[in-house]
Chain A
Amino acid sequence: MSADEPRKSLPRARGRAWRVVLGLISMLVIVAVFAAALFLRPFASLVDRAAVGSSAVTNEVSTEQLQAYCPSRMDLVDTEAYGDSEFQVSTGNVASSARYAAFGSVYRAQVSPLGPDYATDSETLADQEDGDVLTLAGDVDDGARVMDTRLLASENGTGSAASVVSWATEGDIQGLSASTCVVPSLEHAFLLTDTQSGVTQQLIVANPTDRATAITIQAWGTADGERLALSTGNTMTVDAYGEASVDLGAAASGQDGVYVTLSSDETPVAAVVRTVRMDGLTARGSDYALPVDAASRGAMLPGVREGDETAVEVFGESDGDVTVYWVGEDGLTQAAQGTVSANRVAVFDLQTAPEGVRGVFVDASTPVAAGARIQRSGGDGQADFALVRAAEPAASSAVVLPDGVDGELTLMNDSSASARVTLHAYDADGVEVDERTVTLDARSAQSLAVADLEGEARMLTLDDEDAAVGWGVRLSHPDVDDAGLAGIAYLGATALTPVRETVSARNDQSIVR
């Protein structure tokens, strides 16, 4: 130490003992504090939190460029050819058809396959001289398609809608499946049916932009209110102009109903879920599940008919009471009543729909997401089901029917006043062939067969000033019916209202280097 240290006369023995004791005590204190800091993690709750979750500011901007993703035709998850040919799964004679339409003041709309040929290989929607609907018909046998629409103005009655339908009379996916085309977004939520054995829920995520992105998936089931631990992990990446899929039935198996959310890191993505049910070797139906809209206290599920086996799934983020009603032309009839627990899917099995039913209405005390599964049986134990999404009323909406299917409209009014709506029908060339005005009583539903409309109606739009009516089209295919098989599908209405997009802006001083 320094030369000041006692080289002078030795201190008294007492002073020396005092120094030793002090030295020992100080050493012990220092070592103890250091060891505690090294290994312990005290005050785990004293962690600072930021008031905002990200440095980016999100703004909702209205956009005049729309995109829609049309899934490819119904397929099975794995088509491995192993084992006895009797036990091999096959898609049989599955076929598909699609129709794309753009309504209102549209600059240009085109359809491109999702893949490496995205930029080069596109077909443009065309219109007739006097039609104000641009349309294109095709199929999705080769893969998914993306429709890009550029609008001239963002107003009610302007927008795009498209649908795909696939059917098969042989193989393991006998029946009819239909889906409207999905708008890409940064987040999606799905309310799926059960994931018991025999059910595959294949989630397909498509990225129609030129930047790869990572997807985070979270799922909640029926057992408890905790998040499910997915056995396939909860992240996946999707390439630019590509698709990726994961089997949610394998990831979150054994549930009676699953609520799935997925969020994308970088770019908006589109997602659908292909649900296929098999009972041993018997096909029990297939359909596309589409993302649910924002939760609300009341949900309209049109398209139910007498004799359908109906089940309703409800999911809410907080506890509440739920009442399910059958809706017909005369009004509401209570079908079931129960509670929904927070973060837990509640399933209401309504058995067979009685006579006069046109749809189901779900009334809840807390905001919930709701969906219905309607099932019909055919010959030899075959059955087919359709997944009905909650219908969102809008000032102007459209349903586009692909070639080959027949449809039956259902209009539902869940408000306490009667509603008056105008239905326009267009044929395959985009020419308007019929116009009807329909008046609906409060809390009632009406149905109307498409075949009853004038001309060959392929595209339908509904003008509803008060935005009180929800509607959809229940589909059936003559080929499937002729084969004695059950085949039902449902197409919900696509809103033709100004679209708002969420853009996040971030202050970053390092972008110019």
Chain B
Amino acid sequence: MITVEEDLRFLPDTIRAVLGQTVLPGVIVVIDCTGRTDRPLASSFTVEPAHAHGAQGRRADTVSVRLVGVKGARSFSDAVAKGMRRVDLDPGTKALWTLHDDSRPAHETCLETLLERWRYTPTASLLGAKQVDWGGGNLHDVGTYAGRHRLESLVVDGEPDQEQYDGRRDVFAVSLAGALVPLATLDSLGGVDPWFGTFAESGDFCRRICLSGGRVVVVPEAEIAHRRARYEGVRSRSGEPIDEDAPASAAMAVLEARQRYYYTDIRMGWWPLLWVLRLLRAVVMALSRLSRKQPYVALCELLMPWRALAMFPTAVRARRIVGRQSKVPLSRLSVLVASRQQIARWRDRMQAFRDQQGSVVLDPLAKAHLRRRLLRRWICAAAAAVLALAVVLATYWDVCRAALSGGSLTGASMLPTDAGFLRLLEAATTSWTLGAGTGAVAPPTPWLLVLAAASVLTLGNVAAATVLVFVSSAPLGVLSFWALAGVFTRSDAVRVTCALLWFSLSFAFGLYGSANLAMLTVMTFLPAAFAFAFRAVGMYHTEEPVRPHHSVQAAALSALCFIPVVAAEPQLLLPLVATFLAFLLFVRRHRATLLLIPLPSALVLAPTLVNAVHHAPEGAWRQLFGDVAVPTSETNGVPAALGLADLAARAFGVDVGSGWLSWLRAPQVVSFLVLAMLAVLTVLAVVSLFLPFALRVSRMMWVTTVCGGILCLASARIVVGVDADGAVAGSVLPGMAMALLGVLSCVCLVAGGAIRRFVALRRPAARPGDEEDVDVRSTVVAVARALLVVLLAAAACLWAGYGIAGRGDGRPGVADGGLPMVAVDYLEQSPDHRILALSAESGSRISYASMSTGRGDVIEVSTAQRAQVASGQRPASDEAIASAASRLLANADSQAVADIAALGFGGIYVVADGGSENAVSQLMANITASNGTQSVVSNASGTYFRLTLVDTLTQGVDLNGQQAVSASPWRYAWLWCAGIVTALYCIVALPRTHRYNQEEA
């Protein structure tokens, strides 16, 4: 009985093998499960015996061939049973030889051997054959033994057949493919139960045979070459053929089959308890699968308990059948049970076999070549990273040295910080901002999570963490772009110079000069994230003997690298999503891997996204375009409709007027050269679109560039905040960084693959002319590449020099001042203590700040708050403080002091170097003259007044709002979800230790 479905790839070989048997079956029935055959067809042929040596004359026999169609067969045995009913079998038929359409007898004596064995063991209830793979050399299984409610084959799937298992006779179960099934067995046991599905029905049938006293015998001499199309994923569930190069995973069906066998092997009374235990086990198994980089199987494991719930009603019936037919307990069948030692030994052998499988076997010459390349590559990369670190340290040595003595990094774009680690964590995870009046509800700034992670590295010192981010962004940025360049080209020189060019871009953008730590985070992690994404889908160059392959581990690493990028600049989430959708179009395979990459980033950003959408009519969507850097109209500009060229000039700090091609009239020679170099690199990137060997990748990176450019255009038009002069546009630096990432990647593509050909042994050229042609061409390519390297190096020097010397921006500084010690002590006593800082700039202008730490803190920055101010909403406490400060600047006003004390402030600090000396002394005189203040300490940087109106013990701002937000279930849900997902991704991303593999960076 041969069953066949839509897939007809293997049927011809099977039928040929069946017809080539030395002993032919009397009736060959082909069961068409597609349902297209309405009426059974019959045919027959006569077999003339060949003149066999020494054989008696055999008479000619007829073999009839029937083709029947069945509909709705749930499994192999169901199809066979239905086919049997439709075909009227000869009453003399004693046994069925059941075959899948992809299981062919491996040699011509297969049936003869089976029949012979049956004659010699008449008590056998079922005879199975040895299962080998389609090529005939490797084993699948030779009968299975019973384990703990499962079947153990004790044969390593795929090991070569050296007749090592040919001694087996009685086993617990055999596969029904190629098995000889006596009809008496079928009748006595009521047939095979199709409920178990094709993967487990043979196991259940054999279990019932053995437990009811029968014998299951395996005949190792009879070999069946079984393709196992469904099991190996080359056939879909509905029978459609699947391309052999991209097999689907049958994990779900296999796990389901095993589960069904397991539950029906146990008494029904135990099922509830076992279900709970297996639920826990499912979680553990899922984690283990994740660590083995098999996320789909992990998902299947998680779903198994729920499918078990769904199947319980029907499992009851199957269990009853098993129970009814079990007469012999398993303990009496110890020969058929696999012992623990056997299973352990089998596991070891399987592990060793798997270890052997994954590695590419290389000869010593290839290994030496790879090792040399590895050393050379990593030395170049390390040298570049050290160079970058040295440049940063040399340029900002005084800042680094001063920062080591306890101050915090600060710059034109960056507020200093004086917070402790716990305060930082609280600010990073609570939807409460401290910078607006006495506090307001606003989603936490995502970049603070990055700072918290850096603070873990500096053992909780937040101020040192800012310096760490500043300094380490140099070597890490170089290494990450070096990794990305390695995806496109293997030439060490091009990779290193491109990485240094990317590093010099940080200088040219003025990121180091203004201590823009958020953008430095982006410049560090964005190339690495893209590099890992390319590795995840297997679209990258490697060294010669090694082949690229897709990797779920790289996908997880890419997802983790995107978290700091999106946390630092939330506006990058939008073009990244668009780029990923475009990537899905361009990538050939493994698309599903790409879809999981944005998930952790979106989760980490969840409060910001939810707030932006929830309050979108009030303009809260603007917070997506802000970041932790201070927005000023000098650096970011006023919202205006500008072209990309103008925005590029703005990003590089070149002041050009407006108008078409105005960037050609840059004021200084250096600025003009900087922009000209950018234009040259863009032209090179356009050239990369023409390269025939990089069609897909060049378009993918150009899509990145275009998306980054569109983000620039959008960001320059959007208001992110208001400063003293008016509205401030969003920063164009993130979009420009993304666009330049694409441009530089395309420039790397122009360098070509540059893979060092690995030649094991030099062979003389076939013809002398060949060698010359090849030489000329390779010389031209090498010269062109060298020119490119020179151009890139010159660009890197130009941009770095411009950034360090020519840009004219400020330098970062170290803030080690702040409130006097008395004031800081007061603030640290309780989390609800606040001090109001005032700075009188002139007789009619005053600035105020609500201090919760000793310096104007970066943890109090909130982009949502800035968007609210731009939309005209201010918290009531903010207005009250502004009014009181104005009144105090004009006159001595006791009511103003009382208002300030009523808000919960414990002191007022007047900054001495605010602006106008007259105004400052006037303000101090006014405060002194008002009731309720007492001057505590006065030094060169300011004067601290204590407010005496409210008792010190009860002083403090109202923390109810903050506590309500802090205890909110949404916050816990977000933290737990983000934490768990990130931990899962980390598990997938962890490197595995005991696999020695040759995949290279």
Binding site for B on A (CB under 8 A): 1-5, 19, 23, 26-27, 30-31, 33-34, 37-57, 59, 61-65, 186, 209-211, 213, 266-268, 501-513
Using known A-B contacts A4-B548, A23-B695, A52-B869, determine if residue A503 contacts B890 with beta carbons closer than 8 Å: yes
Interface of B is mostly: mixed
- Which of chain A's residues have a CB closer than 8 A to the CB of B422? none
Cβ–Cβ contact A2 & B689, under 8 A: no
Instruction: Sort chain B's interface into a size bin.
Output: 35 or more
Cβ–Cβ contact A511 & B911, under 8 A: yes
Contacting residues of chain B (820-853) with chain A, CB-CB under 8 angstroms: 837, 839, 841-849, 851
State in angstroms the CA–CA spacing of A209 and B703 once bound together: 57
Cβ–Cβ contact A513 & B844, under 8 A: no
Cβ–Cβ contact B891 & A37, under 8 A: no
Using known A-B contacts A34-B705, A210-B916, determine if residue A54 contacts B722 with beta carbons closer than 8 Å: yes
State in angstroms the CA–CA spacing of A23 and B691 once bound together: 10
B196 at the binding interface (Cβ < 8 Å): no
- Which of chain B's residues have a CB closer than 8 A to the CB of A40? 643
13 contacts between A and B (CB under 8 A): A1-B693, A34-B705, A41-B641, A45-B641, A49-B727, A50-B871, A57-B886, A211-B915, A213-B842, A503-B890, A510-B415, A512-B849, A512-B909
Contact of B890 among A19, A33, A61, A509 (CB under 8 A): A61
Using known A-B contacts A211-B842, A503-B890, determine if residue A512 contacts B818 with beta carbons closer than 8 Å: yes
B486 at the binding interface (Cβ < 8 Å): no
Using known A-B contacts A27-B689, A50-B719, determine if residue A507 contacts B909 with beta carbons closer than 8 Å: no
State in angstroms the CA–CA spacing of A512 and B885 once bound together: 16
Cβ–Cβ contact A31 & B686, under 8 A: yes
B470 at the binding interface (Cβ < 8 Å): no
Cβ–Cβ contact A1 & B842, under 8 A: no
Using known A-B contacts A40-B643, A507-B436, determine if residue A4 contacts B856 with beta carbons closer than 8 Å: no
Cβ–Cβ contact B887 & A59, under 8 A: yes
- Which of chain B's residues have a CB closer than 8 A to the CB of A512? 817-819, 837, 849, 851, 854-856, 909, 911, 942
State in angstroms the CA–CA spacing of A442 and B541 once bound together: 97
Contact of A504 among B705, B725, B844 (CB under 8 A): B844
Cβ–Cβ contact A30 & B703, under 8 A: yes
Cβ of B854 to closest chain A Cβ, rounded Å: 8
Using known A-B contacts A2-B541, A48-B639, determine if residue A511 contacts B914 with beta carbons closer than 8 Å: yes
Contact of B916 among A41, A48, A211 (CB under 8 A): A211
Cβ–Cβ contact B841 & A266, under 8 A: yes
Residue of A nearest to B916 (CB): A211
B630 at the binding interface (Cβ < 8 Å): yes
- Which of chain B's residues have a CB closer than 8 A to the CB of A1? 539, 541, 693-697, 753
Cβ–Cβ contact B847 & A511, under 8 A: yes
Residue of B nearest to A55 (CB): B722
B861 at the binding interface (Cβ < 8 Å): yes
Contact of B724 among A54, A63, A211 (CB under 8 A): A54
Using known A-B contacts A30-B706, A47-B639, A49-B727, determine if residue A501 contacts B890 with beta carbons closer than 8 Å: yes
Cβ–Cβ contact A27 & B690, under 8 A: yes
**Contacts A4-B538, A38-B644, A209-B843 given; 17 further ones with Cβ under 8 A?**
A5-B693, A23-B699, A44-B641, A47-B640, A48-B718, A54-B725, A55-B721, A59-B886, A63-B890, A65-B891, A268-B843, A503-B844, A508-B848, A508-B849, A510-B849, A513-B410, A513-B815
Cβ of B664 to closest chain A Cβ, rounded Å: 12
Cβ–Cβ contact A506 & B724, under 8 A: yes
- Which of chain A's residues have a CB closer than 8 A to the CB of B645? 38-39
Cβ–Cβ contact A62 & B890, under 8 A: yes
- Which of chain B's residues have a CB closer than 8 A to the CB of A213? 842
B540 at the binding interface (Cβ < 8 Å): yes
Cβ–Cβ contact A267 & B548, under 8 A: no
- Which of chain B's residues have a CB closer than 8 A to the CB of A266? 841-842, 845
State in angstroms the CA–CA spacing of A33 and B643 once bound together: 12
B87 at the binding interface (Cβ < 8 Å): no
B16 at the binding interface (Cβ < 8 Å): no
State in angstroms the CA–CA spacing of A209 and B694 once bound together: 67
B660 at the binding interface (Cβ < 8 Å): yes
Using known A-B contacts A4-B588, A64-B891, determine if residue A267 contacts B844 with beta carbons closer than 8 Å: yes
State in angstroms the CA–CA spacing of A509 and B857 once bound together: 7
Cβ of B875 to closest chain A Cβ, rounded Å: 10
Cβ–Cβ contact B717 & A47, under 8 A: yes
Cβ–Cβ contact B640 & A51, under 8 A: no
Cβ of A60 to closest chain B Cβ, rounded Å: 8
Stretch in B384-392, B758-766, B876-884 with 4+ CB within 8 Å of A: B876-884
State in angstroms the CA–CA spacing of A2 and B697 once bound together: 10
Contact of B918 among A43, A49, A210 (CB under 8 A): A210
Binding site for A on B (CB under 8 A): 410, 415-416, 435-436, 538-542, 547-548, 588, 619, 622, 630, 639-645, 660, 686, 689-690, 693-697, 699, 702-703, 705-706, 709-710, 713, 717-719, 721-727, 753, 815, 817-819, 837, 839, 841-849, 851, 854-857, 860-861, 869-872, 874, 878-879, 881-883, 885-887, 889-891, 909, 911, 914-919, 942
Cβ–Cβ contact B845 & A506, under 8 A: yes
State in angstroms the CA–CA spacing of A53 and B841 once bound together: 19
State in angstroms the CA–CA spacing of A505 and B844 once bound together: 8
Cβ–Cβ contact B641 & A47, under 8 A: yes
The 9 A-B pairs with the shortest beta carbon distances in the complex, nearest first, are: A51-B872, A503-B886, A50-B727, A505-B882, A59-B886, A57-B882, A509-B856, A508-B847, A511-B839
Residue of B nearest to A64 (CB): B891
Cβ–Cβ contact A507 & B696, under 8 A: no
Residue of B nearest to A22 (CB): B695
Cβ–Cβ contact A267 & B842, under 8 A: yes
- Which of chain B's residues have a CB closer than 8 A to the CB of A53? 722, 726
- Which of chain A's residues have a CB closer than 8 A to the CB of B854? 512
Cβ of B863 to closest chain A Cβ, rounded Å: 13
State in angstroms the CA–CA spacing of A501 and B893 once bound together: 15
State in angstroms the CA–CA spacing of A162 and B827 once bound together: 50
- Which of chain A's residues have a CB closer than 8 A to the CB of B847? 505-508, 511
Cβ of A218 to closest chain B Cβ, rounded Å: 17
- Which of chain B's residues have a CB closer than 8 A to the CB of A51? 619, 870-872
Contact of B885 among A48, A209, A505, A513 (CB under 8 A): A505
Using known A-B contacts A37-B643, A210-B917, A507-B848, determine if residue A513 contacts B817 with beta carbons closer than 8 Å: yes
- Which of chain A's residues have a CB closer than 8 A to the CB of B869? 52, 55
Cβ of B360 to closest chain A Cβ, rounded Å: 13
Cβ of B896 to closest chain A Cβ, rounded Å: 9
Residue of B nearest to A34 (CB): B706
Contact of A52 among B686, B872, B878 (CB under 8 A): B872
Using known A-B contacts A49-B639, A209-B842, determine if residue A513 contacts B622 with beta carbons closer than 8 Å: no
- Which of chain A's residues have a CB closer than 8 A to the CB of B870? 50-52
Cβ–Cβ contact A503 & B855, under 8 A: no
Cβ of A385 to closest chain B Cβ, rounded Å: 35
Cβ–Cβ contact A56 & B845, under 8 A: yes
**Which residue of A39, A51, A55 has the most chain B CB atoms within 10 A of its CB atom?**
A55
Cβ–Cβ contact A46 & B641, under 8 A: yes
Cβ of B849 to closest chain A Cβ, rounded Å: 5
Cβ of B704 to closest chain A Cβ, rounded Å: 11
- Which of chain B's residues have a CB closer than 8 A to the CB of A503? 844-846, 886-887, 889-890
Cβ–Cβ contact A34 & B845, under 8 A: no
Residue of A nearest to B695 (CB): A23
- Which of chain B's residues have a CB closer than 8 A to the CB of A4? 538-539, 548, 588
- Which of chain B's residues have a CB closer than 8 A to the CB of A19? 695
State in angstroms the CA–CA spacing of A422 and B796 once bound together: 82
Cβ of B527 to closest chain A Cβ, rounded Å: 19
- Which of chain B's residues have a CB closer than 8 A to the CB of A507? 435-436, 847-849, 878, 881-882
Contact of A46 among B717, B871, B874 (CB under 8 A): B717
Cβ–Cβ contact B916 & A2, under 8 A: no
Cβ–Cβ contact A59 & B547, under 8 A: no
- Which of chain A's residues have a CB closer than 8 A to the CB of B942? 512
- Which of chain B's residues have a CB closer than 8 A to the CB of A55? 721-724, 869
Cβ–Cβ contact B723 & A38, under 8 A: no
Residue of A nearest to B814 (CB): A513
Cβ–Cβ contact A59 & B882, under 8 A: yes
Using known A-B contacts A34-B705, A34-B709, A505-B885, determine if residue A50 contacts B726 with beta carbons closer than 8 Å: yes
